[in-house]
Copies of this chain bind each other. A is one copy, B any other.
């Protein structure tokens, strides 16, 4: 007794839609029909379907299954291709799992970049945005250093910049600049590449500088930009003096 489409699907552990799909693609012979149009599958259809499903489950594209089934066993190349792809996908998925584990462990925002889940809660919106941009501008070594800087930022000076309102008066700004300079200077000393990041850029130097500048400008108000600019200049100057006392004025 031959099988109906549904029976064949259940025998093969698949669905009627899959069977009809394979008919459309010519991957499975269309069987004889009863007088009422019902299809009547036989053993050869079941075996053919099982072979096709086996290859499909291994990740062989349906478009290649016909040729692979044709050649007896002279096509290990196709399988090697599939294997290479599968290997890559496993590696990617394992990285994904590690990242998700980090996010859940640190109770970080779901979109926190890899490596920054532990410090995400310390970041202002602006800094969080900058981190996302850094991931596209810097290489891994530089990103590791950035994470370290955030971890070591214990004096809360970042939070104070974040809180600075656009109409902050001159005295408030000056005071914040003074408090910022030592921190920034120490960073320039601890991470010398900050003064010349060319070796740590993922893209071109000029494009990266512009992107960075654009982002800083758009993410901060005028008072913040004023403070950041002056503090950066002073910090750089102080580090130059430390390195070459002769040039001090």
Contact call B72/A136, Cβ cutoff below 8 A: no
A104 on interface, CB distance cutoff 8 Å:
yes
Known contacts A110-B60, A129-B47; A100 and B79 CB within 8 A of each other: yes
Give the chain B neighbours of A73 by CB distance below 8 A: 107-110
Q: Does A141 contact B (CB under 8 A)?
A: no
Residue A179 CB within 8 A of the other chain:
no
- Segment at the interface with B among A91-99, A162-170, A185-193, A222-230: A91-99
Known: A89-B93, A214-B43. A136 touches B76 (CB 8 A): no
CA distance A173 to B129 in the complex (A): 82
Would A43 and B219 count as touching, CB distance under 8 A?
yes
One of A18-26, A49-57, A148-156, A236-244 contacting the partner: A49-57
Known: A90-B93, A214-B43. A79 touches B103 (CB 8 A): yes
7 CB contacts below 8 A, A to B, read A42-B214, A46-B211, A54-B112, A68-B111, A73-B110, A79-B104, A89-B93
> B44 and A218: CB pair below 8 A?
yes
Asked if A69 CB lies within 8 Å of chain B CBs, one says yes
- Give 1 or 0 for each of A203-236: 1 = CB within 8 Å of chain B CB: 1000000110011001100000000000000000
Whose C-beta in chain B lies nearest to the C-beta of A7? B207
List CB contacts (< 8 Å) of A57-113 with chain B: 57-60, 68-69, 72-73, 75-76, 78-80, 82-83, 86-87, 89-90, 93-94, 96-97, 99-101, 103-104, 107-113
CA distance A110 to B83 in the complex (A): 12
Alpha-carbon distance between A57 and B100 when the two chains are bound, in angstroms? 11
Nearest CB to that of A101 among chain B residues? B83
Partner pick for A87 among B43, B51, B97, B218, CB 8 A cutoff: B97
Q: Are the CB atoms of B1 and A210 closer together than 8 Å?
A: yes
A68–B129 alpha-carbon span in the complex (Å):
17
Q: Chain B residues near A87: list those with CB within 8 A.
A: 97
Decide if A157 is an interface residue (CB 8 Å cutoff).
no
Q: Would A113 and B11 count as touching, CB distance under 8 A?
A: no
The chain B residue with its CB closest to the CB of A107 is: B73
- Name the contact of A96 in the complex, choosing from B1, B57, B203 (C-beta under 8 A): B57
Considering only CB atoms, which chain B residue lies closest to A214 in the complex?
A: B43
Chain B residues contacting A93 (CB-CB under 8 Å) are 59, 86, 89-90, 93
